[in-house]
């Protein structure tokens, strides 16, 4: 049965709004996604979708694709505007549980992993997650200081790739140490006197790759931990590459041995 909600002051509406904030994520262990592309991907990937909220128009189009056990609510266009993070609301939203299982132990992690060191821009984060997905990486580690993967802009930018690979938040120093203890190389992205041209490196099937903050680059303490730091030669006059562009070049070059 579908419950109809018409008031923007309804307690459920206020809670849903809260699920776009860090405090809401911590309090309820849930987050909000918007748009059928992401909602549909979450359903297809059997993610923990617990509620779906949609306008009458969106219900008519998509209701037959909803899981049977999910609470469903019909909302007004005004409520959709309240919940939306965009100028033009898409009229369909879902609440997903944040699972403890999203923690990944670096002592048992397999495959290639992208490690994000204090990356701030949601567009960069989303692009890197999508590229990691496309390049065959096993997952992405959000290091301390990196923007949350549950914020609306980051969710929208990831475009559903967050449901295809593993995402976790953890301490990057611990990850680097744990991988290297298993003889798994970890590559940084930095231009210094000891850095190697990225095209000269061929890693094994399991490795880590660290990308640093947009303005400051990798933290010094991480650069001293890595197996090697890589640079991308620039042939033109540009001073540097956007971090997401650099990540894409490195991931597709280093992934040659991935299964």
Beta bridge partners of 3: 73
* 101 pLDDT higher than 90: no
* 240 pLDDT higher than 90: no
pLDDT number for residue 259 = 52
* 258 pLDDT higher than 70: no
* 11 pLDDT higher than 80: yes
Cβ-proximal residues to 177 (8 Å cutoff; 6+ apart), any chain: 225
What whole-number distance in Å separates Cα of residue 90 and Cα of residue 47?
Answer: 20
* 231 pLDDT higher than 90: yes
Contact between 84 and 17 (Cβ < 8 Å): no
What whole-number distance in Å separates Cα of residue 131 and Cα of residue 137?
Answer: 9
* 9 pLDDT higher than 70: yes
For strand 92-97 and strand 30-34, is the pairing parallel, antiparallel, or unpaired? antiparallel
pLDDT number for residue 191 = 76
Tell me which residue of 187, 170, 195, 175 sits closest to 250, measured CA to CA.
187
Instruction: Compute the mean pLDDT over every residue in the chain, rounded to the nearest whole number.
Output: 94
Confidence of residue 257 (pLDDT cuts 50, 70, 90): low
- pLDDT tens track for 155-212: 999 999 999 999 999 999 999 999 999 999 999 998 777 899 999 999 999 999 999 9
CATH ID of 102-257, from 3.40.1280.10, 2.40.50.100, 2.40.30.10, 3.40.718.10: 3.40.1280.10
Mean pLDDT of 58-72: 96
Residue 60: its H or E element: helix 56-62
* Domain residue limits, the chain: 2-98, 102-257
**CATH number assigned to the domain covering 2-98:** 3.30.1330.30
Query: Within 138-190, where are the H helices?
Result: 152-158, 172-181
Contact between 221 and 173 (Cβ < 8 Å): yes
- pLDDT tens track for 114-147: 999 999 999 999 999 999 999 999 999 999 999 9
**Between these two residues, 231 and 258, which has the higher pLDDT value?**
231
SS3 assignment, position 43: helix
* 252 pLDDT higher than 90: yes
């Amino acid at each position: 049965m579908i419950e109809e909600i018409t008031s923007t002051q309804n307690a459920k509406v206020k809670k849903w709004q809260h699920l776009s904030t860090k405090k809401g994520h911590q309090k309820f262990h849930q987050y909000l996604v918007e748009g059928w592309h992401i909602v549909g991907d979450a359903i297809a990937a059997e993610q923990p979708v617990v509620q779906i909220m949609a306008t009458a128009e969106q219900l008519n189009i998509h209701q037959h694709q909803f899981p049977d056990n999910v609470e469903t609510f019909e909302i007004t266009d005004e409520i959709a505007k309240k919940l939306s993070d965009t100028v033009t609301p898409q009229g369909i939203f879902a609440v997903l549980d944040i699972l403890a299982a999203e923690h990944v132990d670096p002592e048992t992690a397999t495959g290639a992993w992208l490690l994000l060191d204090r990356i701030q821009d949601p567009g960069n984060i989303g692009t890197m997650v999508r590229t990691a997905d496309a390049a065959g990486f096993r997952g992405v580690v959000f290091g301390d200081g990196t923007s949350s993967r549950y914020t609306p802009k980051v969710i929208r930018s990831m475009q559903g790739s967050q449901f295809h690979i593993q995402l976790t938040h953890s301490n990057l120093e611990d990850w680097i140490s744990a991988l290297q203890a298993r003889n798994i190389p970890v590559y940084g992205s930095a231009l210094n006197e000891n850095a190697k041209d990225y095209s000269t490196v061929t890693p094994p099937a399991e490795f880590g790759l660290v990308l640093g903050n947009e303005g400051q680059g990798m933290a010094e303490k991480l650069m001293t931990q890595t197996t090697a730091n890589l640079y991308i030669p620039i042939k033109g006059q540009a001073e540097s590459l956007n971090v997401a562009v650099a990540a894409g070049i490195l991931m597709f070059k280093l992934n040659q041995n991935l299964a």
